[in-house]
Chain A
Amino acid sequence: MALLQISEPGMSAAPHQHKLAVGIDLGTTNSLVATVRSGLSSVLSDEHGHTLLPSVVHYNADSTVEVGFDAQKKQNQDPHNTIVSVKRFMGRGLKDIDVSQLPYKFTESSESIGMVQIETRAGIKSPVEVSAEILKALKTRAEQALGGELVGAVITVPAYFDDAQRQATKDAARLAGLNVLRLLNEPTAAAVAYGLDNASEGIYVIYDLGGGTFDISILKLSKGVFEVLATNGDSALGGDDFDQRIFCWILETSKLSPRNAYDTRFLLSKAREAKEWLTEHAEANISCMLSDGEFVNVTLTTNEFIALTATLVQKTLSPTRKAMRDADLNIEDIKGVVMVGGATRMPHIRKTVADYFKQAPLTNLDPDKVVALGAAIQANVLAGNKSDADLLLLDVIPLSLGLETFGGLAEKVIHRNSTLPIARAQEFTTYKDGQTVMSIHVVQGERELVSDCRSLARFELRGIPPMVAGAARIRVTFTVDADGLLSVSARETSSNVEANIAVKPSYGLSEDEITNMLKASFNSAEADKKARMLAEARVEAGAIIEAVTAALATDGNLISAEEKQAIEAEMQRLQSTANTEDADAIHHAVEALNHATEAFAAARMDASVKKALSGKELNTLDL
């Protein structure tokens, strides 16, 4: 692995390995990759100097794939095989999508209610695979620009993405061969880029209208801590909808019949051009010839455009009011409103936001780049490049998690806007004598009826010891991690038997499907796979030895000499195992070392918390 060695100003004199980490904004319309170099976050461009990568994937007949501008050029000629705005389909079922205006052939995955898939000439593609192509292109761009392999990436998602959409994004990154350091909410990323730039303190609103999603986040910024107070949004509202309104208006005013896929795509791109033109002009002329020789020539004025899209703009205010209420804030409490996303360039959106918050919104950072820039800053911190870790993001879960109870009602287990990570345990019992299996349906959303919420997964608990009805005590723990992803564990508490959980994600891909896609994408022989696993095991071994050695050097005094010796013995064992060819043995040695360091890790955590609470800064402590 070729790692760049950059010593940053103010860092210790010891040679410091700068780890290559990037932030990726995987957008509906455009995607970007950014990184921190010499302390500055910047967006990486391709060989032609383009920073934006259109989120467009084109599948050729010979099953090669084009991404970005090359794919975009194909979208009018070959709309069926050119996937645009794939983000709208991530973690979504057929019933969630308005297919009438889209040129794709959708199918549902093998399961009847799963994530949609698109039939292309290169075969059936899941939105996860399409997104992976975009991520691969960005990964290649970054590795070429930085001259080495990436240790990881922070990938941004709309704050209002539910669990299925987040999981789909993480799966796409895995398919693209990226190590995901964290899924970061887009508005939070924007706040980082904005806040650090301006050394802001106080309460800020991030209004993020992208190509296909709308997010509103309210954050409290204080001494490098970014605490999300509330978030809300609409994961199916964005700049695309404004194009759609213009498109319908063109059909109506030109008295055109419904169009074929080619014309639809073509007119949508004309609509988009008109929308962008109206940002700085009073009227836009749309004139073009359609596939049947029919001619379109219409002029759209700013006032008509505003009237046409007024309901869309109003639709963003409802989540805004809800977030303000959840955060228990008044307009006067807001210190600034940051505009994010290309769609916030539209003057009537800026005006509406200014009117609502009674202040001019902040637009000094490029709304297309600010999310990627913030993600890069976070990636840099997470990869461990910044030793004075003064940046901390405390984010929340955007939508409540609930369980299906009798009568199809959803009972909330974790409430929206709870700070992550969070865990909640709930106790269940059996209703039949000798019952050994129980099923649990997890949903996400605010509505009372399960049918109005989003189904996330069905869990089947097996191996419950047979008892009389009502005697078993099954404690199910729901954990949502810092990525906003849910995991579930269960235990029968009276007998302390761990129940097995069979998870069936409602809109996700199964582990098998991912493995198969990975296999197909690597096209690797068994030997390659083994070599890969060995290489990964060795990297893992190296990382943990490095971490434990560093920990012993600084905090070795927290444990007894015997404990220290035991850890060192395991470390040596791992060191020698890592030189063998046995990936399994290396994994076991890593686990043994992990186990041996449990008490030490607890002691370190305890000591660092005590230190922090004692009120002294770490660097002023006499050690």
Chain B
Amino acid sequence: MTQSYFELFGLESIFNIELPTLESNFRKIQSESHPDRFVTASATEKLQSMQLATLANEAYQTLKNPANRAKYILELHGITAISETNTAMPTDFLMQQMEWREALEDAKGAKDIDALESLLREMRQEADALKTELGVLMDDKHDYTAATATTRKLIFIDKVCADINKALAQLED
């Protein structure tokens, strides 16, 4: 497949995609390609269906999540957002990171669900601001170098959110 994920769903390769179009086109492709449609078909068609349905799922998950979408756009422009040699982050963001991590550890230690949830809300607000920034940098200014730093921040925030959710899930057990 030489088609990009955006092309697969008939979308423009931009950050601010129309999510409802992504969703409805994903459903349309699955309606045609899902293995459930080929239960009585030949082995060749089953294989085709499996491959396309898998690709559509992968592509959908990539484009649906803003951090993954930004990372993917950068890849299309030949930039690897996170690599061994490319991990630079501005100092103020690093400081901020450490504060969030500490807050997370404190709340975890205190088994404080409210604190974890309020931290989660804070992270989401932070993520929203970064998403707005990415829309401008990628779609208007086409400044992919600047967008790389912002993408990295967003990926980091996603990770903290995942860890908060994990901590919340552990408190359930």
Residues on A facing B (Cβ under 8 Å): 152, 181-182, 222-223, 225, 227, 318, 321-322, 325-326, 378, 381-384, 389, 392-394, 418-423, 446, 479, 481-482, 543-544, 547-548, 590-591, 593-595, 597-598, 601-602, 604-605, 608-609, 611-613
Contacts and interface: CB of A to CB of B under 8 A. Distances in A.
B125 to A, nearest CB: 15
B122 interface: no
B54 A423 contact: yes
Interface of B: 9-10, 25, 27-37, 39-45, 48-50, 52-54, 57-58, 60-61, 165, 168-169, 172-173
Contact of A547 (B25, B32, B41, B173): B41
B32 A609 contact: yes
Given A182-B36, A389-B37, A421 B45 contact: no
Contact of A322 (B34, B39, B60, B169): B169
A446 B168 CA distance: 13
Contact of A419 (B37, B49, B61): B61
Contact of B58 (A181, A422, A591): A422
B161 to A, nearest CB: 10
Nearest to A384: B40
**Residue among A326, A394, A595 facing the most chain B CB atoms (10 A cut-off):** A394
A332 to B, nearest CB: 16
A612 B28 contact: yes
A382 B44 contact: no
Contacts of B35: 421, 481-482
A594 B30 contact: no
If over half of B's interface residues share one DSSP class (helix, strand or loop), that class is named, otherwise mixed; here it is helix
A421 B46 CA distance: 12
A421 B50 contact: yes
A360 B19 CA distance: 32
A1 to B, nearest CB: 15
A595 B44 contact: yes
Contact of A597 (B9, B42, B57): B42
A421 B37 CA distance: 13
Given A182-B36, A321-B172, A593-B42, A392 B31 contact: yes
Given A421-B54, A482-B36, A547 B45 contact: yes
A382 B39 contact: yes
Contact of B169 (A222, A325, A544): A325
A461 B35 CA distance: 29
Given A182-B36, A394-B34, A602-B48, A325 B168 contact: yes
Contacts of A590: 43
Contacts of B172: 318, 321-322
A419 B9 CA distance: 17
Across the A-B interface, the 8 shortest Cβ-Cβ residue pairs: A612-B28, A318-B172, A608-B32, A382-B39, A482-B35, A594-B44, A601-B45, A419-B57
Given A382-B36, A613-B25, A422 B44 contact: no
A613 B57 contact: no
Contacts of B52: 605, 609
B30 A394 contact: yes
Contacts of B44: 594-595, 597-598, 601
B155 to A, nearest CB: 16
A548 B41 CA distance: 9
29 contacts: A223-B27, A225-B30, A225-B31, A325-B168, A384-B40, A392-B36, A393-B36, A420-B57, A421-B35, A421-B53, A421-B54, A421-B57, A482-B35, A547-B40, A548-B42, A593-B42, A594-B42, A594-B44, A597-B42, A598-B44, A601-B44, A601-B45, A604-B45, A605-B32, A605-B45, A605-B48, A605-B49, A609-B52, A613-B29
